[in-house]
Structure 1
């Protein structure tokens, strides 16, 4: 899932290291090398360089080479690399990618290996790297949704502590709208096609996207609990959001930056993007966990996992490199760079926005663990459902029933 380049680059000054400390990729790795493929704009190069330095000290004669892969076209690169005579030994994958490759028999089962803090890994990251009860992707880092708000607008409306329930969130948003009566002003921006925000209300009500029954996937958005969550979302959006039904989360930065919204739901990187585009607001941005009906709402946890291709001849070394970078020492540095570390046990090693994200990530949800989920996502089924509900074209129950039919069909398709 999405990374955050702004904070990753900022981490270089924090660590006092240079991006050039990561060695360039080679066409073919020599016998004494470990080849690692990491994704663009993920971990700070300085952190990776320190990991490689320590790893090479622990394993004399083994040189680590790192290649950066663009997110666009990543599947083609991965497929070609894993099928080549010199496959990568470690690959970073978005946590929505792992299951498909695991089911396809292309990843090494890492179950039973000793990884630090594995008992306290964030549930969303663990689930994303697990298939049929076996571990294929080791949690690397995450990015949780939180509420980002404008402190200046907050204070102008006379508000105090952040809300702890959705009822309090609604009341605060209405007070913000009363203090800012412009017809296009949102107390809380809830774009109609922003499924990652909307689905949190479904999970908060005890619902889900899809479940497995007798070996088959069945859409679950039209169950009673899920529909309650959709109704809760619609009620809040109708009352406090003036963002169009056909908008998505890409509107968040400008909504907040131009003062057309007092609050948005986004990853911590959204705050960094606002501060970069609207520098005068850097000190005016605050964050708090998304409230649910009776406490923190479950939030979508994006991020990355590290996998070992089945075609590598260096499985043990690859697992050792993964163990090192995902351990406490380097996860702490990732946290200081603005990435959410992989374990709830590392809360004392992060601060600011990242600390709030890590707290929110402890109440997280993830998409169904099906290798066919990308087909659902690419078809925009959930996004279309939310837009149709927000537009008033159909009731939440009817929209969910249509979505479930399509989800069930695609998740069980072999094509």
Structure 2
């Protein structure tokens, strides 16, 4: 599931009084914390529907240590959870454990709504996936525990490729572009050899990262936009070239309905979350007469640098609100819910684990190799005080659309984006 950084109108209000609530308490380190009598855990409906036995297993671990403790569970859809969380964080009726989308963590960490945790208390913390670890870290402190991950992969149709004389899945960027050239020539100008929405900034920034660039870098206690650096421009130029050659669709689109568009059958390849290809092949969206289910194949997206394209990881973290009265038990519940044994349950349910150690064996299984391999090299957004404001202003999306439509050169769009980012990124 794709998750955007939330607007969180209530974020400012929710932290009223937080400073007086022991924001420096670490998991397992609060000597004044009384033995808990109750624990409230908020998870999304994914856990309720797909791995309820794992929830029970974590509960059992806590009840064994704290006899008589009552564990309450509440399950939410993503939007409902955020609305409810914002409304309670300024009160004393906070959950002790809350599931957060990895892109949702930043504003809560910045505002002091989450308790810092001792990463060493959690199994596999030394091997957490880079993209998830970054999502739970702010100013050198850990505020969440990675739960599970999802990576982006390339998905294409082997029947269309074969019709153009391409029989092997590309393993290098040169192979990929050569194959796409053949497919584009065979199918004509009304067909997208690679359907890549211009406003999908996750993909564009993967090209930037692949070239050694970045959105912004921290310099002391300030952040400075770097999209106009030579490395970033190189990545953006490679991204623009690919769109110009292979994207024949609407150049004002974002990626929200990419899988639906792919299901229409007017494109050969997409690059997106691992679930998108399967969703496009669902009979509800497949308008090709069932050809997608029979012919789509996913693979690790190669990058122009010669390495695999660095991916933006989706996923979830588990956090402890700073107002929790049971921080130690909450962190212990999280450890029981995310340890190696728990990760095996999540893997069997189709997720990627939160750590590189358990990710390694998945690379040997053809079914999981593409997403597992892609997840090894990942990036995350700048963990800057004003990043939420940058996202809300659609700075990246607008710059990318201008580039794709030829309204601005890469250099001009990058320079203008840097100016806009610099005006927002250091303001909480």
Question: Is 1:130 aligned to 2:137, yes or no?
Answer: yes
The one of 304, 310, 326 equivalent to 1:298 is: 310
Instruction: Summarize the alignment of residues 395-410 of structure 1 with structure 2, pairs less than 5 Å apart.
Output: 395-410=409-424
What is the total number of aligned residue pairs between the two structures? 387
Residue 296 of structure 2: aligned partner: 285
Query: Quick check: 35-44 or 121-130, which moved more?
Result: 35-44
Give the TM-score, by structure 1 length. Answer: 0.87
Query: Quick check: 158-167 or 130-139, which moved more?
Result: 158-167
Question: Is 1:245 aligned to 2:259, yes or no?
Answer: no
Show CA shifts across 1:244-269 (max 9, x none): 21012134223322221111011111
Show CA shifts across 1:112-167 (max 9, x none): 44211112111000011011111111111122111011122223223233222222
TM superposition shift of 1:40: 4.1
TM superposition shift of 1:218: 1.0
Instruction: Summarize the alignment of residues 100-139 of structure 1 with structure 2, pairs less than 5 Å apart.
Output: 100-139=107-146
The one of 87, 93, 97 equivalent to 1:80 is: 87
The one of 332, 349, 359 equivalent to 1:337 is: 349
Whether the 8 Å contact between 1:332 and 1:349 is mirrored in structure 2 is no
Query: Quick check: 101-110 or 357-366, which moved more?
Result: 101-110
Residue 11 of structure 1: aligned partner: none
TM superposition shift of 1:177: 1.7
| Alpha-carbon distance between aligned partners in 2 of 1:73 and 1:80, rounded to the nearest angstrom | 11
Query: Quick check: 151-160 or 334-343, which moved more?
Result: 151-160
TM superposition shift of 1:65: 2.0
Query: Quick check: 348-357 or 78-87, which moved more?
Result: 348-357
| Alpha-carbon distance between aligned partners in 2 of 1:394 and 1:74, rounded to the nearest angstrom | 40
Whether the 8 Å contact between 1:268 and 1:353 is mirrored in structure 2 is no
| Alpha-carbon distance between aligned partners in 2 of 1:230 and 1:357, rounded to the nearest angstrom | 24
TM superposition shift of 1:185: 0.8
TM superposition shift of 1:349: 5.4
TM superposition shift of 1:87: 1.6
Residue 271 of structure 1: aligned partner: 277
Q: 1:64 to 1:371 in 2, by over 3 A?
A: farther
Whether the 8 Å contact between 1:108 and 1:309 is mirrored in structure 2 is yes
Any runs of at least 4 consecutive aligned residues in structure 1 with deviations exceeding 6 A, and if so which?
A: none
The one of 165, 168, 173 equivalent to 2:175 is: 168
Q: 1:318 to 1:352 in 2, by over 3 A?
A: farther
The one of 214, 221, 224 equivalent to 2:220 is: 214
| Alpha-carbon distance between aligned partners in 2 of 1:231 and 1:42, rounded to the nearest angstrom | 41
Question: Is 1:371 aligned to 2:371, yes or no?
Answer: no
TM superposition shift of 1:61: 2.3
Whether the 8 Å contact between 2:362 and 2:372 is mirrored in structure 1 is no
Q: Which runs of 5+ in 2 are unaligned?
A: 4-35
Residue 142 of structure 1: aligned partner: 149
TM superposition shift of 1:196: 0.8
SS in 2 for 1:401: helix
The one of 399, 405, 413 equivalent to 1:391 is: 405
SS in 2 for 1:392: coil
Give the TM-score, by structure 2 length. Answer: 0.85
RMSD: 2.2
Show CA shifts across 1:49-86 (max 9, x none): 44345335533323322212332254442233233333
Whether the 8 Å contact between 1:268 and 1:354 is mirrored in structure 2 is no
SS in 2 for 1:249: coil
| Alpha-carbon distance between aligned partners in 2 of 1:352 and 1:377, rounded to the nearest angstrom | 36
Q: 1:50 to 1:159 in 2, by over 3 A?
A: farther
Question: Is 1:225 aligned to 2:237, yes or no?
Answer: no
Show CA shifts across 1:372-406 (max 9, x none): 21211111110111100000011001001111111
Whether the 8 Å contact between 1:47 and 1:330 is mirrored in structure 2 is no
Question: Is 1:188 aligned to 2:194, yes or no?
Answer: yes
Q: 1:383 to 1:81 in 2, by over 3 A?
A: same
Residue 201 of structure 1: aligned partner: 207
| Alpha-carbon distance between aligned partners in 1 of 2:236 and 2:53, rounded to the nearest angstrom | 41
Whether the 8 Å contact between 1:370 and 1:411 is mirrored in structure 2 is yes
TM superposition shift of 1:97: 2.3
SS in 2 for 1:108: coil
Residue 315 of structure 1: aligned partner: 327
| Alpha-carbon distance between aligned partners in 2 of 1:42 and 1:391, rounded to the nearest angstrom | 42
SS in 2 for 1:184: coil
Whether the 8 Å contact between 1:145 and 1:267 is mirrored in structure 2 is yes
